[in-house]
């Protein structure tokens, strides 16, 4: 009897083991873990505090509903391996882990929904595509709030970061706010704030901001750094307080939107290798730097919009090492500097707006000369020489016979109006130039050499030039004028 009972129990045990194997054989496991647990075909909902995380394997969508995630798998509150993942936010959700908030291996991550998500990690990244330059994009398209506090980078991927939607994004980091190897594309109507110890946004690709975003960056190093360039068509506002505001090692910076750009910096407001172009319609640009305002290593700096541009700096406000500085649009431009207002290879001021330049040492041109034309008003005030020309440069009023009807006033309080640093420099009035006022300090000359010893004349190419004033002791033949607070008529005769 005992043997029969043992035999029966053994048979029952074998049957149960086969039943158990059949059950497990029918279960499908998925490469998604939340709060330390893995989703399977028999477990598509994981409890997370008082909320839940639900996974849809057909769409690879993970819905967080008031979820509180405190446990991790593979050092992440949410981990996904070999699958793209879309996280949908409902209600108020939070992730607090030792390392990473959300970590995907070589796949793309999308966060969307009307809910909120806060991530606070210990020593890792908030959102991470974990791979060596092989991963995919991170897309944020929310209507709620995404808040990340990280002891590394808040958002990191080797590919593109896309920020869309109409949400609020708050990033606080001891390293970078956003770090990636491809582009950072921001559109929609978001409110984005970044506070970090390194750069707010650092990418090897480009940064593009469009839409109506409000972006605020407070960074100890660089506000936005993009090796391939920075392009703003935004109609919202961008405010940066950093050591350097915008930086591009191999690209350009272009502002062509209707929005505002405000930069407070300790070194350079904007520094690039190539061009800086401010051409926005109704743009508002305000740059205040303790060192340089705008700096281009190899390109040109151009203002050609229709708005307000205000640049203040301790060192040169505009520095174009190998290129030209041009004001071509209808902007209202104010430039203030405790040193040179402009240091450039050449300059062209041909505008329909108002230009006010106030500095200690005026405009210094290396090679290509400086030209004035257009319908706008230009006022250049300097403590010392207003315009300094080097290496055979020429100053021309009315370039290529272009019409000048606005007022041009160039005044020095303690120096020459124009200084030639070399004898091959020249001055020329070429066209219908009206209302040109060249004023030097008492004891100085309208045009002189760098030692204030030799005086030069202005070659007048058009006999219809009139209303020109300046300082000197005599007038010369027709079309050759030397000024001294006297108005000359078209024949070069003095009017007392």
Q: What is the pLDDT along the chain (496 residues), one digit of tens a residue?
A: 444 443 443 344 434 444 444 444 579 999 999 999 999 999 999 999 999 999 999 999 999 999 999 999 999 999 998 889 999 999 999 999 878 999 998 899 999 999 999 999 767 899 998 766 566 899 999 999 999 999 999 999 999 999 999 999 999 999 999 999 999 999 999 999 999 999 999 999 999 999 999 999 999 999 999 999 999 999 999 999 999 999 999 999 999 989 999 999 999 999 999 999 999 888 999 999 999 999 999 999 999 999 999 999 999 999 999 999 999 989 999 999 999 999 999 999 988 899 999 999 999 999 999 998 888 899 999 999 999 999 999 998 876 655 666 688 899 999 999 999 988 999 888 766 667 888 888 888 888 888 888 878 777 765 454 444 444 333 332 223 333 333 333 333 333 3
Same domain, 397 and 489: yes
24 exposed, middle or buried (CB, 10 Å; 0-12, 13-18, 19+)? exposed
Question: Is there a contact between 274 and 249 (Cβ–Cβ < 8 Å)?
Answer: no
Same domain, 318 and 264: yes
Same domain, 451 and 490: yes
Other CB atoms within 10 A of residue 452 CB: 15
pLDDT at 404: 64
Same domain, 330 and 377: no
Inside any domain, residue 381: yes
> What is the C-alpha separation between 161 and 153, in angstroms, rounded?
13
Scan for tokens 């690209």, then name that residue.
251
Name the token pair of 419. 């200084």
Inside any domain, residue 422: yes
Question: Is there a contact between 145 and 165 (Cβ–Cβ < 8 Å)?
Answer: no
pLDDT at 450: 87
Q: How far is CA 118 from CA 28, 70, 164, in A?
A: 31, 12, 18
pLDDT at 323: 95
| β pairing state of 45-48 and 51-56 | antiparallel
Same domain, 387 and 325: no
Inside any domain, residue 461: yes
| β pairing state of 487-488 and 494-495 | antiparallel
Inside any domain, residue 300: yes
Q: Residues with Cβ < 8 Å from 401, sequence gap 6 or more?
A: 430, 431, 432, 462
Same domain, 420 and 341: no
pLDDT at 482: 35
Choose among 264, 273, 326: nearest CA to 301. Answer: 326
Choose among 148, 213, 221, 147: nearest CA to 185. Answer: 213
**The domain boundary residue, chosen from 289, 321, 345:** 345
Same domain, 313 and 365: no
Question: Is there a contact between 316 and 342 (Cβ–Cβ < 8 Å)?
Answer: yes
**The domain boundary residue, chosen from 316, 345, 374:** 345
Looking at the chain, how many residues does it have?
A: 496
Question: Is there a contact between 422 and 390 (Cβ–Cβ < 8 Å)?
Answer: yes
Find the DSSP H helices in 52-145: none
Question: Is there a contact between 205 and 185 (Cβ–Cβ < 8 Å)?
Answer: no
Q: Indicate the DSSP class of residue 20.
A: H
**The domain boundary residue, chosen from 303, 321, 345:** 345
Choose among 114, 116, 87, 89: nearest CA to 103. Answer: 87
Scan for tokens 């910076």, then name that residue.
253
Choose among 366, 429, 362: nearest CA to 392. Answer: 366
| Residue 62, strand partner residues | 55, 87
Question: Is there a contact between 100 and 128 (Cβ–Cβ < 8 Å)?
Answer: yes
Name the token pair of 167. 């949400």
> What is the C-alpha separation between 44 and 66, in angstroms, rounded?
16
Inside any domain, residue 168: no
Question: Is there a contact between 214 and 243 (Cβ–Cβ < 8 Å)?
Answer: no
494 exposed, middle or buried (CB, 10 Å; 0-12, 13-18, 19+)? exposed
Inside any domain, residue 187: no
pLDDT at 400: 60
How many domains does the chain divide into? 2
Q: How far is CA 464 from CA 406, 479, 484, in A?
A: 16, 10, 20
Same domain, 366 and 341: no
Name the token pair of 277. 């172009």
Q: How far is CA 278 from CA 69, 106, 254, 283, 302, in A?
A: 46, 38, 6, 8, 6
Same domain, 264 and 341: yes
Q: Residues with Cβ < 8 Å from 66, sequence gap 6 or more?
A: 49, 50, 51, 52, 90, 91, 92, 93
Q: Would you state the torsion angle of the CA atoms of residues 70, 76, 81, 84, taken in this order, to the nearest 10 degrees?
A: 80
Q: How far is CA 403 from CA 326, 393, 426, 432, in A?
A: 17, 22, 20, 5
Same domain, 439 and 367: yes
Inside any domain, residue 310: yes
Inside any domain, residue 311: yes
Describe the chain by its helix, strand, coil percentages, rounded to 5.
5, 55, 40
Radius of gyration of the chain (CA): 33
State the residue range of the domain holding 440: 361-496
Q: How far is CA 315 from CA 240, 290, 291, 294, in A?
A: 20, 7, 5, 10
Max Cα-Cα span within the chain: 142
Same domain, 328 and 296: yes
Same domain, 366 and 449: yes
Name the token pair of 379. 């006022």
Instruction: Confirm whether pTM is higher than 0.85.
Output: yes
């Amino acid at each position: 009897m005992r043997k029969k009972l043992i035999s029966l129990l053994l048979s029952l045990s074998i049957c149960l083991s086969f039943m158990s194997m059949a059950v497990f054989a029918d279960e499908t496991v998925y490469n998604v873990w939340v709060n330390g647990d893995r989703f399977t075909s028999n477990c598509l909902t994981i409890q997370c505090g008082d909320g839940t995380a639900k996974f849809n394997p057909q769409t690879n969508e993970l819905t967080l509903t008031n979820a509180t995630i405190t446990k991790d798998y593979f050092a992440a509150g949410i981990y996904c391996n070999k699958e793209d993942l879309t996280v949908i936010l409902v209600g108020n959700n939070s992730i607090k882990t030792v390392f990473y908030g959300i970590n995907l291996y070589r796949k793309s991550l999308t966060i969307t929904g009307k809910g909120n998500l806060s991530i606070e990690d210990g020593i890792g990244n908030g959102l991470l595509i974990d791979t060596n330059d092989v991963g995919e994009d991170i897309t944020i398209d929310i209507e709620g709030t995404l808040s990340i506090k990280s002891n590394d980078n808040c958002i990191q991927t080797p590919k593109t970061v896309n920020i869309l939607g109409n949400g609020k994004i708050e990033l606080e980091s001891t390293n970078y706010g956003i770090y990636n190897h491809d582009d950072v594309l921001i559109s929609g109507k978001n409110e984005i704030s970044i506070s970090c110890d390194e750069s707010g946004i650092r990418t090897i690709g480009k940064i593009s901001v469009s839409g109506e975003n409000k972006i605020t960056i407070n960074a100890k190093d660089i506000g936005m750094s993009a090796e391939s360039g920075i392009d703003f068509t935004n109609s919202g506002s961008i405010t940066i307080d950093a050591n350097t505001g915008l930086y591009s090692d191999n690209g350009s910076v272009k502002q062509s939107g209707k929005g505002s750009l405000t930069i407070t910096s300790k070194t350079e407001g904007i520094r690039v290798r190539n061009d800086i172009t401010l051409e926005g319609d109704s743009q508002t640009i305000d740059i205040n730097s303790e060192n340089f305002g705008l700096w281009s290593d190899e390109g040109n700096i151009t203002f050609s919009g229709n708005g307000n541009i205000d640049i203040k700096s301790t060192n040169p406000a505009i520095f174009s090492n190998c290129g030209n500085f041009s004001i071509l649009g209808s902007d209202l431009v104010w430039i203030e500097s405790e040193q040179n207002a402009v240091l450039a290879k050449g300059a062209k001021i041909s505008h329909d707006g108002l230009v006010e330049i106030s500095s200690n040492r005026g405009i210094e041109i290396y090679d290509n000369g400086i030209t004035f034309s257009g319908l706008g008003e230009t006022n250049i005030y300097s403590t010392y020489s207003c315009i300094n020309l080097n290496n055979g440069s020429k100053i021309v009023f009315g370039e290529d016979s272009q019409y000048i009807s606005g007022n041009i006033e160039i005044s020095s309080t303690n120096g020459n109006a124009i200084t030639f640093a070399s004898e091959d420099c020249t001055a020329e009035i070429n066209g219908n130039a009206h209302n040109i006022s060249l004023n030097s300090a008492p004891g100085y000359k309208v045009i002189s050499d760098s030692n204030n010893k030799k005086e030069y004349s202005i070659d007048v190419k058009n006999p219809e030039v009139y209303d020109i004033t300046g300082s000197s002791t005599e007038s010369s033949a027709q079309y050759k004028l030397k000024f001294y607070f006297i108005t000359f008529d078209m024949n070069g005769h003095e009017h007392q």
